[in-house]
Chain A
């Protein structure tokens, strides 16, 4: 790895760790409002899924607008696991295994969905991922799953069809989802997950596999003629991306006690929200995704003082930020200002 790349990675980790330390110090000294304390974990898992999506959109170059579907799978798989083992396992190993289960399921579905989806390109791929995201959400919405002394029961109709013994426990109750998942997630674990996913993605980018993936993105015909297995690398990146999204889902389901597969959390609107984080932060810029996710998640919450106008103001701020960051004239102006600034200081 070159020195510059190393420095670049170091800044990214540094930002996350600095943010973590500041928040922890504020929390320990009692200077953090409970509002902000409650925002820390969601902010972090949205940053995690933004990193996951950036791997798919920025590094692999395929527009996915169904990534919340993988988050949904991770959330439900791990919540079912935690509910089942709630009384038999202590919290720490249970939560660790919940991560393993959530990530494994999300990766498996990422792999399976990748097989048909990655045969497509561009807009077609985007539309198909959107459809898969919705399918995942709707199927989970229809599942009834319970466990009793005779083992697991599953139905797609209603709770009566499960035919449960009286001692049974309904785990996924259709649209009512899963309630009473243990709240194992906290800010420290969330930050560790974020750092690990950053580590995975940044190292992948700088590895042989990562360069192959980016070669496929830039010109798949040239890459193929150079002997790169296009399908393999596409699948690799897509599956890793789905797995990281699954990890975000595990944090999600263990931070809130009522988990429902509704469109507010896992629909295409939510997926597009994540895409907004990625685009604002810069496609292919992993650090940018983390910063953009944090800012954009905090913004509507910080605007609560504006009451009913806050969603309107939020949209306007979003437009302004997008223009300031990415309009060519704005970039030029920023460069001029930065140039002057450096000169004066030199």
Chain B
């Protein structure tokens, strides 16, 4: 019995070691083949391709955001390849899952690095992007995050973003409300457990003082208690708020609108880009969203050719209406393309050289895409683009004055 136990433990130990060693061998060697459903394209005849990696939560509760990003990158890459690629070279892409976990996001980044990634479109969410930026900075790889909006995400000089930063959104919202004199008493409901939401709230509340309106109530909820908002709404109502600012995602916002309606409370509702998508919530009475204002860079039912094509192709391929995360990611791929073309870069350059080339060009170009007609960047990594304020009328977005 004793002997057998030690035999078993030895076996277990050697199995563990064998497993890990086999694991590394497989990883080091097996990644050149482009299998897997996220890998979009075959290598071009010459063999050299640009490799774009993308990271986002593809499983779990936030999968909608990550899937939108990875799918849109794939869509953009397919289009580019169909039109002759970048500087005559084809583009490959690969998406990896990070489960909304910064630790796993770094793992995903390392996996993509082994695959041979040259540019990163990701990570989708702020905390993950922040963790990954530490690694891209070390490797000097160009990182363009479509949707990580926390201020610190672009702290390094190799990281840029497509979306507005949280402080910018808070600032722009407060300025918009102030300059259009929408209300003098404003209430806020925000998610204190969410980086995005509390980031916007902080700058909004700081800027409110300068804009001549009062924040009469600021109530928080957390990810664990996001179904009942009657207490927060009651407080806003009691404080006599004329406008309710909701720097949150649309799923919770749809509940707030429904519950406010039940209470007979009808202030002006004002949201930010996370509100985009509210008209697609299942079992939500969209008439409640009438008059809802939001600052968003992207509206899926806009009528310009670019948006119409993108939405059509996305729906055809993935069976869903894309959201602003996807639009940002789609733009990100084209921004990288534009920079590479300006710089005349080729895929055989090293990751670090490519990063320097793209970094040098991104501050000089003016890009136009789904989320804005004119986007420019400065070395800080923040985009300069106009926020679009839209209001929902008859179940559709209309540009607000």
Number of B residues near A (Cβ < 8 Å) is 68
Selected interface stretch from B19-27, B249-257, B300-308: B19-27
For A301, the closest partner residue in chain B by CB is B107
User: Mostly helix, strand, loop or mixed at chain A's interface?
Assistant: helix
Please determine whether B13 and A291 come into contact, CB atoms closer than 8 angstroms: yes
CA distance A180 to B35 in the complex (A): 36
Contact of B38 among A141, A177, A179, A307 (CB under 8 A): A307
Selected interface stretch from A95-103, A189-197, A210-218, A262-270: A262-270
Residue B91 is within 8 A (CB to CB) of chain A in the complex: no
Selected interface stretch from B92-100, B233-241, B354-362: B92-100
CA distance A286 to B344 in the complex (A): 58
Contact of B130 among A33, A258, A265, A287 (CB under 8 A): A258
Please determine whether A22 and B130 come into contact, CB atoms closer than 8 angstroms: no
Please determine whether B110 and A38 come into contact, CB atoms closer than 8 angstroms: yes
Please determine whether B23 and A308 come into contact, CB atoms closer than 8 angstroms: no
Please determine whether A264 and B130 come into contact, CB atoms closer than 8 angstroms: no
The total number of A-B Cβ pairs within 8 Å is: 159
Interface centre among B4, B20, B193, B194 (most CB of A within 10 A): B20
Please determine whether A22 and B21 come into contact, CB atoms closer than 8 angstroms: yes
Given contacts A15-B13, A22-B17, A33-B110, contact A141 B23 (CB under 8 A): no
For B133, the closest partner residue in chain A by CB is A257
Please determine whether B130 and A308 come into contact, CB atoms closer than 8 angstroms: no
User: Mostly helix, strand, loop or mixed at chain B's interface?
Assistant: helix
CB of A32, distance to nearest CB on chain B (Å): 5
Among residues 1 to 35 in chain B, which have CB atoms less than 8 Å away from a CB atom of chain A?
2-4, 6-10, 12-13, 16-17, 19-21, 23-28, 30, 35
Chain B contact residues, CB within 8 Å of chain A: 2-4, 6-10, 12-13, 16-17, 19-21, 23-28, 30, 35-38, 58-59, 96-97, 99-103, 106-111, 113-114, 127-128, 130-131, 133-134, 150, 152, 155, 191-195, 197-199, 201-202, 205-206, 218, 222-224
What are 30 residue pairs bridging A and B, where the CB atoms are less than 8 Å apart in the complex?
A: A19-B16, A23-B20, A26-B21, A31-B25, A32-B28, A35-B107, A36-B23, A42-B103, A158-B201, A174-B192, A174-B198, A176-B150, A177-B195, A179-B130, A180-B152, A183-B134, A256-B106, A258-B131, A258-B152, A260-B195, A263-B223, A295-B19, A301-B107, A301-B111, A302-B27, A304-B108, A307-B97, A308-B58, A338-B8, A341-B7
Given A138-B222, A183-B134, A258-B127: 18 more A-B contacts, CB < 8 Å:
A31-B25, A33-B114, A35-B27, A35-B110, A35-B113, A39-B110, A42-B103, A141-B222, A175-B198, A176-B150, A176-B198, A257-B133, A258-B130, A262-B193, A305-B35, A307-B97, A308-B37, A338-B7
